[in-house]
Structure 1
Amino acid sequence: MIKKSAQIADQIGEALIEMGWPLGQTVRTESELMAEYETSRAVVREALSLVEHRGIANVKTGRGGGLHVAYTRKEAAVNELSAYMELADCQRDDLVLMTGAMHAKVAEVALRECSDETASRLEALRAMFALPASDLAESIESFDQFWIELAQLTGNTYFSLLISACQKTLRSIIYFEPRDVASAMEHADRSRAHKLKIIDAMLSWNWPLTSSLIDHDVQQRLEALKRTRLLAPEQHTNPDISRLKLSHLTALKLARDITENELEKGHRIGSEEELLKRFGVSRPVLREALRTLEAYSIVKMKSGRGGGLSVGQPDPSHTFDWVLKYLNTLPTRMHYHLDFRIALEVQAAEQAAKRVGRNETDVAGLYERIEAAQSHISSPHTEAATATTARIPVEIARVAGNTVQTFFTGLALANVVSVFRFKSSQEITRVINSYRLVIDAIAAGDEGRARRQTYQHLRDNYAPYLQVRSEDQIKLKLAQSA
C-alpha cells in the first residue's frame, strides 16, 4: 500500500506539470498543503522531502517558505528519471551502452530528414563545439551538451529526455580522477576532435562513417570507465551530490550497499536501531532516507516484533506515471514514439539473442509472456490484452541484461498502454504471432533474425497508426533504418 506522503508527493509533481508554475515561484506553504490534503504537518514534510529528493521542486524553510519551483518541467522529468535510476542501481556500463545506442539512433533520425534546416543546425552545432573549452569542467559539460543538442535537432522528446537523464545519472555516480589536469585536457581535446568528425560525417550524409565514429565514441567511454571509481556519496565533489541533505546521502549509501552486496528481495537488512548505529545518523534523518527508498519500493519496512528493514523490488511505475504526464503536455508526434521503440526494442532483441543462447529459463519466461497474452485473445476487454502484450518487449529487454534498456522500454510501453488499445481479437492475434517470431529467433540465438523480426513487427503492427503523410512513407523509413 502506498503511503500517504508518497501519494501527496506524486500529486504535487502532477500539479507542477499541469499548472506550469513559473520558475522561482513559491506556490504552496506547509500550512496550505496541510489544508489542501487534510493531513498533518509531519506527513506534508515527508511528502516535501520526497519531492525535493526527486528533483521535482525545492523546499524553502522559515518565513515565507514552502514549495519552491526550482526546475522547468523538463528538468524535473529528467531529475525524476535520474533519481530512480541512481537509487535502483542502473549499472554504469549499461548507461554508457544505452546512451550510445540512443546517440546512434539520434544521428540516424537526423540524417533521415536530409533537409537544409538539418544541415544549417549541424553547422551551428559544429561552430559551437569547435571552440576549445577553458577548463576540464567546461569540457565535460560541453560533451554532455553535444548529444543533448543533437537529440533536440531531431525534435524527438523521448530521445532528448533519455539522453539527458542517463548523462545526469552518469555524472552523479562516476568520479573521474585524472593523473594530472594536463593529460585530462589532452584527452578532452581528442574527444572534442572526434565529435567534430561525427558532425562532419553527418554533414556529408555518410551514415556508415557516422555509425562507425559513434561506435568508437562508445568504446572510448567504456574504456574511460575503467579509470573511474565510485565514491561514497559524502566524498563526491559533484555539486548535484554534494549539496544533498544527509537523509538523501544516507538513502544513496543504503541503495548502493544493497547492490554491492547483491542482496536478494526479502533479505533482512536490519532493525531501525541497527541501522542508526551503522550509518551514524539521527532517527529523523534515517526515517527520511527510508521513506525515499520505500517510495520506489527499493526497501520495505515492517513494524512490530520480528520486523525491520528488508530488500524490496524496485518499482518504476510512479516514475513512469509522472514522466508520462509531462510527455502528454508536449506536442509530440506518434512517429517519435515509434523511433524511440525501434531504438530500444531492436537492440534488446539482438542482445537477448546473443545472451540467451539456449538458456531454458530465459526462453521459457519469454514464451510464458506469449501464452499470457494469448489468453486474452477472446476477452472483450482489450485493455488487459494491451497491457499483457506490452510486457513482452519488457521481458525481452530484461533477458538482454541491460538495466537501463529495461527501464526505458518499460517507460515506452507504459506510454503505449496509456494511449493505445487493440480493436479486435484478430489484431491481438497478429501482434502475438509477430512477437512469437521474434522470440523464436531469440531462442535460436539468431541475432540477425531477431533484429529483422523486431523491425518487421514494429513496421507491420504499429506503422498504420502513425499520423504521418502516408503509410508508405513510414514503411520506407523503417526499411531504410533496417
Structure 2
Amino acid sequence: MAGGAAKLGEQVAARLESVIRSNAWPAGHYLGHEEQLSRDFGTSRSVIREAIAIAEWNGVVESRRGREGGLYVRERALDPAIALLRNYLFLSGADLPSLLRARRLIEGRILELATERIEADDAAGLAGLLADPASPRDDRVHLSRLKQIVDRMSELADAPLLRLFGGALRHCYVDRVRTTTLDDGAYLRASRAVAECRMLQIQAILDYDRGAVRDLQTRAMDIWEAFAAELSPARLSGAAIVDRLTATGNGALIYEFVQPAKKAEAVARAIAQMIANRDLDVGERLGTEAELLADFGVSRRVFREGVRILERFGIVEPGRGKLGGLMVGSPRRDMLIASLGGNVPALAETTVRDDGLLPMLLTDAVRALVAQDECRRDAFVRAVGAAQPPSASGLARLVAIHAPDALTGCLIEITLDCGRRSDEGRLDRRQLSALLNAIGSADRFAAPRMLRGLCPPAA
C-alpha cells in the first residue's frame, strides 16, 4: 500500500477517464479486459486494477464478469462530480445531522431559484406530475416522483453547483441511512410523507405562492429530521454494510433511484462507518489487514481496492511498526477539489451562476462559529489576525477551514474554487477588526452581516 503506487494508479485513472470523455463513448461501450488495458496504458496489471477501482468509484466505468466480461463505460452513471462528492462526504464522516443541515440550505436555495426562473412551458411539465395520483402505499411510485421532482427543481434553478451539492447530499444521506439501520421501512414511510409535501409544493409553485413553497420545504426537512432522530443505530458489521450497499432488486427498493455501490466502494464506506461507530480519532489504529478482512467477507483484492480509495483522500493511512495495519488519517479536502477539477473540467471552468450561494454558506458557517465555545472562536480570530488582512476570498477560505461543520466548510471551498474572480485587494483593516470583535464577543446578529459585507458573491 505504498503511496507511489497509489499516485500512479490515480494518474492512469485520470488518463482513462480523459480518453472516455474525449471520444464521447456512450454508456455500455466496451473498453477492454484487464490485460489489454494494461498493455494500452503501458503499466502493470496491479496498477491498472487500482486505476479501474478509482474510475469505478468516480462513477465512470463498471467491471462485468462472465463470457462478455471486461471494462465498460458505466450505464446510468451518476454525474461523475456528484458521485465523487457524495463518496468523499461519506468517507470523511458527514453524519445525518450535518447532511440534513446542509440539505436545508441547498434544497431551499434550489427551490427559491426554481420558483424565480420558471417559465410557462416548465409549469405545464410540472403540472403533469400532479395528474396521476399514486396509491398511498405504492413506495416505488413515491420514490420515482421524489426523484423526478427534485431533478426537475435542479434543472429549473439552472445553477451547476447547487445541482452538484444537492445531488451529492441526497445520495450520501441515503448511504448513511443504510449503513446505520436495517429498517428500510422507516425510510420508505418518511419518503411517502416527503413525496406528499413535494406534490403540494409543485402546486404552490404553479400558484406562485412563495410562502407555501418555503413552508412545505421546512415541513419536508422536518420529516427527514424526525426520521433520523428516531433511528436506532444497529452498529452493523462490515459484511452487513457491504451487503446493504451493494444490494439490488426488491430487497433494495431505495437503490432503484439512488445507485448501489460496487464492492470496493462498499468496503471503503464500511471502513469509514467503522471509524465513526468506534469514534476513532486521527492516528488511532483500526486493525491489521487480517483482523479487518475477518469482518468483511470479501476477497483480499477487493478489500485492498477499498483501502486504496480511502488512502486517496487521507481517510486512512498505513500503520508503522510491528503491528502495521491501518490507522485513521485526516481527510484531504485538497484531493477532493483537485479531483473535481481534473475529472469534471466543465465544473471547474463554470462561473458560479447563483450569486447567493457563497454568502448563504458563509453566513451559516459564521453563525455556527459564533455559537461555538470561546476557544474555537479565539482560534479563528488569531488565524485571521496573524498576518496582513486577507482578500475577500482568503477570508472566506479561512471561514471554511475553521467552520465547526466540516461539511459546510467543504462546500464553501468548492464554491470558491469554481468561481472566477478578478484580482482582489486586501480587506479594509478596520472593517476586518470589527468583524473579528463581533465573532470574538459571540455577536450572532452583527457577525453574519459584517461577513456578508466583506465577502461579496463570486464574480
TM over 0.5: yes
Q: Is 2:447 the counterpart of 1:450?
A: yes
Residues 381-396 of structure 1: matches in 2 within 5 Å? 388-396=394-402
Q: Which amino acid aligns with 2:380?
A: L
Deviations 1:163-202 (Å, cap 9, x if unpaired)? 1111111222224543798xx4xx6665344223323433
The count of aligned residue pairs is 435
Q: Is 2:164 the counterpart of 1:161?
A: yes
Residue 233 of structure 1 corresponds to 241
Deviations 1:301-342 (Å, cap 9, x if unpaired)? 146645331110112333322323465426986351533213
Residues 127-206 of structure 1: matches in 2 within 5 Å? 127-133=128-134, 135-175=138-178, 177-178=184-185, 184=189, 190-206=193-209
1:30/1:387 Cα in 2 relative to 1: closer, same or farther (>3 Å)? farther
Deviations 1:206-259 (Å, cap 9, x if unpaired)? 434432332222112101223445554145243489964544433222211111
Residue 296 of structure 1 corresponds to 313
Work out the CA distance in 2 between the residues paired with 1:6 and 1:373.
36
Task: Tell me the CA shift for residue 62 of structure 1.
Answer: 6.4
Residue 220 of structure 1 corresponds to 223
Residues 303-382 of structure 1: matches in 2 within 5 Å? 305-325=322-342, 328-329=345-346, 334-353=351-370, 355-356=371-372, 359-371=373-385, 374=388
5+ residue gaps in structure 2? 245-250
1:270/1:330 Cα in 2 relative to 1: closer, same or farther (>3 Å)? closer
Q: Is 2:300 the counterpart of 1:283?
A: yes
Task: Tell me the CA shift for residue 155 of structure 1.
Answer: 0.9
Work out the CA distance in 2 between the residues paired with 1:53 and 1:147.
24
Deviations 1:281-309 (Å, cap 9, x if unpaired)? 44333322221211221110146645331
C-alpha contact 1:349 1:438 (8 A) present in aligned 2: no
SS at 2:283 equivalent:
coil
Residue 101 of structure 1 corresponds to 105
Aligned-residue sequence identity (percent) comes to 22
1:147/1:445 Cα in 2 relative to 1: closer, same or farther (>3 Å)? farther
SS at 1:68 equivalent:
strand
SS at 1:266 equivalent:
coil
Work out the CA distance in 2 between the residues paired with 1:212 and 1:180.
22
Deviations 1:149-172 (Å, cap 9, x if unpaired)? 112102111111111111111222
SS at 2:346 equivalent:
coil
Task: Tell me the CA shift for residue 121 of structure 1.
Answer: 1.6
Q: Which stretch of structure 1 is more off in the superposition, 312-321 or 224-233?
A: 224-233
C-alpha contact 1:233 1:249 (8 A) present in aligned 2: yes
C-alpha contact 2:31 2:71 (8 A) present in aligned 1: yes
Work out the CA distance in 2 between the residues paired with 1:180 and 1:370.
43
Q: Which amino acid aligns with 2:31?
A: V
Deviations 1:52-106 (Å, cap 9, x if unpaired)? 1332321245676544211578622211111212222211122122112112212
Q: Which amino acid aligns with 1:106?
A: I
SS at 1:338 equivalent:
coil
Residue 423 of structure 2 corresponds to 422
Work out the CA distance in 2 between the residues paired with 1:414 and 1:194.
35
- RMSD of Structure 2 on Structure 1 (CA): 3.4
1:333/1:318 Cα in 2 relative to 1: closer, same or farther (>3 Å)? closer
Match of 2:58 among 49, 54, 60: 54
Q: Which amino acid aligns with 1:429?
A: L
TM-score normalized with structure 2 length: 0.82
Work out the CA distance in 2 between the residues paired with 1:280 and 1:110.
46
C-alpha contact 1:386 1:421 (8 A) present in aligned 2: no
5+ residue gaps in structure 1? 378-384, 467-482
Residue 479 of structure 1 corresponds to none
1:412/1:188 Cα in 2 relative to 1: closer, same or farther (>3 Å)? closer
Q: Which amino acid aligns with 2:213?
A: T
Deviations 1:109-153 (Å, cap 9, x if unpaired)? 23444xxx5354244224314533352133123224322211210
1:154/1:129 Cα in 2 relative to 1: closer, same or farther (>3 Å)? same
Residue 25 of structure 2 corresponds to 21
Work out the CA distance in 1 between the residues paired with 2:35 and 2:430.
56
1:212/1:442 Cα in 2 relative to 1: closer, same or farther (>3 Å)? farther
Task: Tell me the CA shift for residue 388 of structure 1.
Answer: 4.8
1:365/1:211 Cα in 2 relative to 1: closer, same or farther (>3 Å)? same
Work out the CA distance in 2 between the residues paired with 1:435 and 1:30.
56
